[in-house]
Amino acid sequence: MSTERIRKIINNKELNRENLSYLIGLEGEERDYFLKSVGEEYVKSLGKKVFFRGLVEFSNYCTKDCYYCGIRKSNSHSERYDIDDKAIIDAAKFAHEHKYGSLVLQSGERSDKAFTERITSLLKKIKEVTKGELGITISLGEQSEETYKEWFAAGAHRYLLRIESSNRDLYYKIHPEDEKHNFEARINCLRSLQKHGYQTGTGVMIGLPFQNYDDLADDLLFFKELNVDMVGMGPFIEHTETPLYDFKDELWPIQRRFEVALNMIATLRLLMPDINIAAATALQAIDPMGREKALRYGANVIMPNITPTANRKDYTLYENKPCTDEGADDCSNCLSIRVEMAGREIGYSEWGDSKHFFKRTGKD
């Protein structure tokens, strides 16, 4: 095993496209050495704390038709649902009472007035019932600047808007090319979120058809150039009711997608040492210990699913999603054990804001 090049890249921070692509593609003993090295370094700089974000996937109605997603508008086999406001507020209370520190509200993408006004009202209610103590992240797609401003004023302070691929050509292989799926519009929304004060996050899928290591290296450089505060990314898992399923035989083996996803997390931690990186649930769909491994090698955020159990099975962005039959208490207890198994500790009742955000903005 030769580790000289890996040591040189890590020690000298030689994180150009060529070296990033090399690290992302590592296999075998060299990969093990790289992951272990990054894991040890990240604990020195960021500490052992992992932050909980209670995830509420409150609706799977979506106006988008992304080629990879199980809740795409054209999937007539999707059982649609929309959790009522009381259930969402109850989930927020659960997160607060169990000292999660933060909540994530996620749904299919909509931008109609009824939807945006409902979110504004929900944000205010959540702040009220949790005495302003619960941090709120939202992942609700592309919106107008006015809506972003309104939601920020109502209490949201972090926003996740995944790009899925920073390669424009690849973007249009996994999305329709129309006014609803515009590459430049999505990037403009990310800049708008930063402008209006959000801790801003994005992310990509790993192991897409037509994708290579250089594409993934460019994704990491895109995160760096955009100066994001947090990233959520995970392995691509195909869904039978989507157009991309036609390319299933061209995909990397599922285990390789998992390995490269961990390589991406570790490489991003090298490139952007002070951002928040989530341990994606999709990792656990491949490896029962997937999220723990992500925590060992660079991730510092984990999202217990506190969506009412009856609805979890219908928020199927991909197939074989784990934990769909667990209650919120089950998920919480399970993840607490998993965090400890990873040699990390939970930052209870802490928002766990991105250190990079404060450096980027100069705020306290």
Q: DSSP secondary structure string, 283-326?
A: HHHH-TTHHHHHHHTT--EE--B-S-HHHHTT--SSSS-TTTT-
How large is the average pLDDT for residues 91-102? 95
Confidence band, pLDDT 50/70/90 cuts, at residue 286 = very high
**305 contact partners, CB below 8 Å, separation of at least 6:** 55, 57, 281, 312, 323, 326, 328, 331
pLDDT of 178 above 60: yes
The pLDDT assigned to 338 comes to: 83
The pLDDT assigned to 155 comes to: 98
Q: What are phi and psi of 121, to 5 degrees?
A: -65, -45
**CA–CA separation, 326 vs 264, rounded Å?**
29
**CA–CA separation, 30 vs 26, rounded Å?**
7
Question: Please, where are the H alpha helices in 130-212?
Answer: 145-154, 168-174, 183-195
Question: pTM, whole model, 2 decimals?
Answer: 0.94
pLDDT of 310 above 70: no
The pLDDT assigned to 308 comes to: 80
pLDDT of 283 above 70: yes
Number of domains in the chain: 1
Give the CATH number for residue 50. Answer: 3.20.20.70
Confidence band, pLDDT 50/70/90 cuts, at residue 363 = confident
**CA–CA separation, 239 vs 241, rounded Å?**
6
pLDDT of 354 above 90: yes
pLDDT tens for 44-75 read 889 999 999 999 999 999 999 999 999 999 99
Task: Show the tokens assigned to 6.
Answer: 């890996």
Task: Determine whether 16 is exposed, middle or buried from the number of CB atoms within 10 Å of its CB (0-12, 13-18, 19+).
Answer: exposed
- Strand, coil or helix: what is 78? coil
Q: What percent of the chain has pLDDT over 70?
A: 93
Q: What percent of the chain has pLDDT over 90?
A: 84
> Of 94, 50, 102, 54, nearest to 340 (Cα)?
50
Residues in the chain: 364
How large is the average pLDDT for residues 150-174? 98
pLDDT of 223 above 80: yes
Please report where in the chains the tokens 């995909």 appear, as a residue. 251
The pLDDT assigned to 314 comes to: 57
The pLDDT assigned to 317 comes to: 58
pLDDT tens for 237-280 read 999 999 999 999 999 999 999 999 999 999 999 999 999 999 99
Confidence band, pLDDT 50/70/90 cuts, at residue 307 = confident
- Computed over every residue of the chain, the mean pLDDT equals 93
What residues are paired with 235 via a beta bridge? 206
Identity at 283, one-letter amino acid code? L
Q: Which domain holds residue 292?
A: 4-361
Comparison of pLDDT for 89 and 322, the residue scoring more: 89
